[in-house]
Structure formats: C-alpha cells, structure tokens
Amino acid sequence: MEPSQSGEPLVVIDHVNKHFGELHVLKDITTTVGRGEVVVVIGPSGSGKSTLCRAINRLETIDDGTITIDGVALPEEGKGLAKLRADVGMVFQSFNLFAHKTVLENVTLGPRKVRGQSKAVADKHAMELLDRVGVANQASKMPSQLSGGQQQRVAIARVLAMDPKLILLDEPTSALDPEMISEVLDVMVQLAHDGMTMVVVTHEMGFARKAANRVLFMADGEIVEEAKPEQFFTDPQSSRAKDFLSKIL
C-alpha cells in the first residue's frame, strides 16, 4: 500500500545530533515521514531508536539540527509543547496507563483536559475507540485487571482519542507474552490500513512486511539503510544489516 504523498512530508528530520555526555547517540540523522506513511525502525539495542522517537515527541532535546512536524519546528515549552504531545501520540513498551483510573478514564482524560471535550462527547468517542481495538467490554475495569495485550490496546485507544497527526510506537509488543503479540499487531496493521502516519520501532518482521512503507535500519546512532521492506529483508546492502538480520530472522 502506498501512502498518499500529497504536499510536504509530515515529519522532517534534518541533520539531527544528540549526545548523552560523551556518547554520540544520534549522528546526523536526516529523514522524513510522509503523510499516511508507516516507517518501521529496526536495529540493535542501543542504536538510538528510542532516542529518535523521543526526540520527535520532544521527550528528549536535540543538540543540533531541526525536526519539524506539519511544517512547524518543535516547540521548546509551554502551550506549543502540550499541543505537540497531543498531536504526536506515543505508545511505549510498558503501556504506561494511569493505574488509578479506569480504562475509560484513561482514554477520556486527554481529550477532556487538553482538547476541552465534554464528558459526554469524550465518553462516546472513547467507547468507539475501545470497540475499535476490541476492549469495549473492559471499559469500567482498572488497568491491572487487564492482560498486557488488552492494556496495550487501551494505550493505543488513548493515543487515538487525541486525534493525533502521528503515532510513535516504541517496541509496543516487546513486553507482551507471545500469545498477546498478534492482537496488538493486528490493531496496528488496521491503523496502517486506515492511513494513520506511524513510526514503529519493532523487531516484528511480519508487521514490517505487512504494514511498513519503509524500513529504517539504525546502528550506532546512524541511519545505515533506508529501504522498502521487501528489499531490505531480501537484499540488505550493508554488512551491519546483514549481520543483524541473520540474528533475528
């Protein structure tokens, strides 16, 4: 499936560098994410995948270079930052649901506080989204009463409730028991087919083959290869990508 490539890319990352002390974790990263595009980021542990995602959401600062979303440079603070976090949803490995709120409240909190929706409007939309990810019957439960796969689907519904321009998913299935992985991947594939713009850090090659428009392979803080999934998996160009794929496939 090809994304619609009308107009400017949604995300433009231009010569971005990031250090943690002496450690150069993002090295001159330049890439784009088109509207409706699904980009899968893969690479060895410590290669900078999470830092790149977090930089797009400005959970991490960058040292130099620029990141723009929908033509706007990432804001430093204040209202702009709150808007950015609403427009750019993030799904983490560890679900990060609010433990003391019900499933429904987890999904409605953002729309009510940040988007100013009434309880009735937010509840109705949240129930539709919980239904879409297959957990509507869990709405009144607390997160701890749900399986990991159900919690992660709630986390996805919570992000969708903000009507984001882009969703970043950082190893969303890595903390799940094997039998729950596919129920989360199925939701992600559906989102991709619905045209959601996504950046997904994952080693789930089945998902990449099914849903990705492009694979970014990172190693040591660099984008080493960028290719369509079928090309990347069947004919990786660099020795680092060949080596990585031989370990995970």
Interface contacts to ligand ADP, rule CB under 6 A = 20, 23, 25, 43, 45-51
Q: How far is it, in rounded angstroms, from Cα 80 to Cα 86? A: 10
Neighbours of 189 (CB within 10 A): 16
With respect to Mg ion, which residue has the nearer C-beta, 31 or 50? 50
**Assigned token pair, 184:** 């989360």
Minimum gap (Å) between residue 19 Cβ and ligand ADP: 9
Minimum gap (Å) between residue 67 Cβ and ligand ADP: 15
With respect to ligand ADP, which residue has the nearer C-beta, 51 or 150? 51
45 binds, among Mg ion, ligand ADP, none (CB under 5 to 8 A by kind): ligand ADP
Output the residue with the shortest Cβ distance to Mg ion: 50
48 binds, among ligand ADP, Mg ion, none (CB under 5 to 8 A by kind): ligand ADP
Q: How far is it, in rounded angstroms, from Cα 32 to Cα 7? A: 13
Residue (of 163, 141, 165) closest to 151 by Cα position: 141
With respect to Mg ion, which residue has the nearer C-beta, 49 or 158? 49
Backbone angles phi, psi at 214, to 5 degrees: -155, 145
Q: How far is it, in rounded angstroms, from Cα 185 to Cα 187? A: 5
Instruction: Looking at residues 36 to 75 of the shown chain, list those that interact with Mg ion (rule: CB under 5 A).
Output: 49-50
